[in-house]
Structure 1
Amino acid sequence: MVTTPSTPATVDSHGFAAIEGDHWIELLEDGTHVLIRPLRPEDRERERAFIQRLSPESRRNRFLGEVREVSPTLLDQLMQVDHHNTMAFVALVHDNGELREVGISRYGADEDGQRCECAVTVAEDWRHRGLAVALMRHLIEVARREGFKALYSIDSADNGQMRELASYLGFTRSPDADDSTLVIHTLRL
């Protein structure tokens, strides 16, 4: 996987229009390109549509419960990103002339300011290309830069894809002492 930092241009060689701010064009394992950048307020509708397109199992894994509709309250919470205590990176691709969200990684700091709970979600049709790894690497880099000591993720014990990703990225796995159906993946920064 190759990360190419980009600077604004009218249209780059991958077909993305001029983009201001931090962003990366990632070359995934299958040769496709995806734009990764911090989540912005104008991504609100993309985030809602992304969650709605996820399978019920993917929504259950992401939210550790059933989410049928994306409520305005949930969307408000997901869009709150201050770039220190909360951070989110969105992955975008062109789909019929529109930018479509195909993945997102995010963290939220604990009250102690030392650790962050993190999550990553990739659309079913974009899995097994290295996108989750790319999204998480950007998140890990920012968490380190912001001075956090650890990232952790609370996941369903039967979520094999998260188990695989967490292991690949160097997270340790332990059972949740309060709920035997959950595990906690932790990465010391």
Structure 2
Amino acid sequence: MAARNRLPPWHDQIRLANGREILIRPVRPDDAEPLRAGFALLGPEEIRQRLVSPLPELSAEMADRLTRPDPKTEFALVAAEPLPPGDAVVGGVARVAMVPGTRDGQFLILISGYIAGLGAGRQLMRRLVRWARGKKLQRLIGEVQEENQPMLALAESLGFRQEASDHPGTVRVVLDL
């Protein structure tokens, strides 16, 4: 019996706490412009709270780089509307990159305000952890702004511990894999 509506690997359609359906899937080059458009909708406070180094915009070069991860050392996902890439509004992006010379992975998750607090971050983080374990990494590490209590609480609920960070105003969260 063939499975209907079977999604490709790393693709999952989920329902958020507010009932909205999103598709979590690997990032694709077609996502560069929707990522830039979504980033432009973030307010300065959202950007400051979610990123260690605030960015005034997501440049075309940065978006292109983010949407073309090196499959040997990087993994990136988006949480988007269940529409074709390039047409879908992207509400979240998650990325992990292996740190050269170590068995660590550095992660970053950015969730837009319109889906923040509805479970998308947890869904993305679980997939980053699964990828990191598949790559036999020893630790997953992220830098989180001290004020970003939702992300710190999410990390703690998933087993991350907190450490001092080299960046003022941030906390390093670490998950031993």
TM exceeding 0.5? yes
- After superposition, the Cα gap between the structure-2 partners of 1:91 and 1:125, relative to the gap in structure 1 and judged at 3 Å, is same
1:167 to 1:75, Cα distance in 2 relative to 1, 3 A: same
Mapping of 1:145-164 within 5 angstroms? 145-164=134-153
Pair 1:58 & 2:57 matched = no
Q: CA deviation at 1:21?
A: 5.4
Q: Identity percentage over the alignment?
A: 27
Within 5 Å, give how 1:109-120 maps onto structure 2: 109-120=98-109
Q: Deviations over 1:41-91 (max 9, x none)?
A: 111111111211112122223332332222233223322312331111101
| Cα pair distance change 1:121/1:179, threshold 3 Å | closer
Shift of the alpha carbon at 1:35? 0.5
Runs of 4 or more above 3 Å deviation: none
Contact 1:6–1:24 (CA<8 Å) still a contact in 2?
Answer: no
Letter in 1 for 2:71: H
Does structure 1 residue 89 correspond to structure 2 residue 77?
yes
In the TM superposition, residue 94 of structure 1 has moved relative to its aligned partner by: 5.5
1:172 aligned to 153, 161, 165, which one? 161
Residue type matched to 1:142 in 2? W
Provide the C-alpha distance between the structure 2 equivalents of 1:60 and 1:139, rounded to a whole number of angstroms: 23
Residue aligning to 2:173: 185
1:94 & 1:41 partners in 2: Cα distance? 17
Which of the residues 111, 120, 126 maps onto 2:115? Answer: 126
TM-score (norm 1): 0.81
Greater relative contact order structure (CA < 8 Å, 6+ sep):
2
- Paired position in structure 1 for 2:6: 7
> For residues 61 and 84 of structure 1, do their structure 2 counterparts lie closer, same or farther at Cα, with a shift above 3 Å needed?
farther
Residue 136 of structure 1: which of 125, 128, 137 is its match? 125
- The equivalent position to 1:100 in structure 2, one of 70, 78, 89, is 89
Aligned residue in 1 for 2:25: 37
Residue 12 (structure 2) aligns with: 24
Distance 1:48 1:152, change over 3 A: same
Report how many residues are paired. Answer: 171
